[in-house]
Amino acid sequence: MRLLSLLACVLAGCFGLGPRVDRTRYFTLAPLGSDEAAPASDLTLGLGPIVFPGYLDRMSVVRRTGANELGVSANDRWAEPLRDAFGTTLQQNLAVLLGTPRIAQYPWARSARPLLAIDVDVLRFEALAKGDAEVAAVWHVVRVADGAVLVGRTSRIAEPASGSDTDAAVLALSRALGALSREIATAVHAEQAAGHVQPPNRPRA
């Protein structure tokens, strides 16, 4: 009887073991604003595949705490898998910077084959212990009609953070992804200006 009373007391929170406060916080990446919008374009673009590091493809926010050490947050989480957030935000950024909503995520339907495709191999997309962000990625601009690689480049971008907390780190990651988006958009604009979007043997519409 005494044991049952003790158990009932524990369940009732007599020893301060009542409901625990959920300290989990959820974060998303922020896309570029409309103030960077380019003039409307009829360009069709494919985005992907996007290859993402396995150690980052998780819900918990990861910080690099040393050259060979990572810290995984117990309370700070992404609102969606980081791979998905990266791809969606990059798509939104390119839509603004290139002036076209006609951007399809890989794999796209054969009937909706785009003029150009952007593939991205993400090497690093991390916040450091003090909050600063780093992104490193290998990316290509490919002419879909004949598979020609028009641009191949490695981008390495660092963005300082205004503080060491996760809020500041996520803002810095968003800015770093914005800078990567601008580099890709600049390359696409250059290929358009040079007339390389259509294959040389195909008359332009």
Higher pLDDT, 49 or 19: 49
pLDDT in tens, 66-76: 888 888 888 99
Model's pTM, two decimal places? 0.86
In whole angstroms, what is the distance from residue 173 CA to residue 135 CA? 8
Q: What does 47-111 look like in DSSP terms, one character per residue?
A: EEEEE--TTTSSSEEEEEEETTEEEEEEEEEESS-HHHHHHHHHHHHHHHHHT---EEESSPPGG
Question: Using CA of residue 146, residue 96, residue 137, residue 82, what is the dihedral sign?
Answer: negative
Q: Are the C-beta atoms of 43 and 115 separated by less than 8 Å? A: yes
Domains and CATH numbers, the chain: 46-193 (3.40.50.10610)
The answer on pLDDT for 21 being more than 90 is no
pLDDT in tens, 76-107: 999 999 999 999 999 999 999 999 999 999 99
Considering all CA atoms of the chain, what is the largest pairwise distance in Å, rounded to the nearest integer? 91
CB atoms within 10 A of CB 58: 14
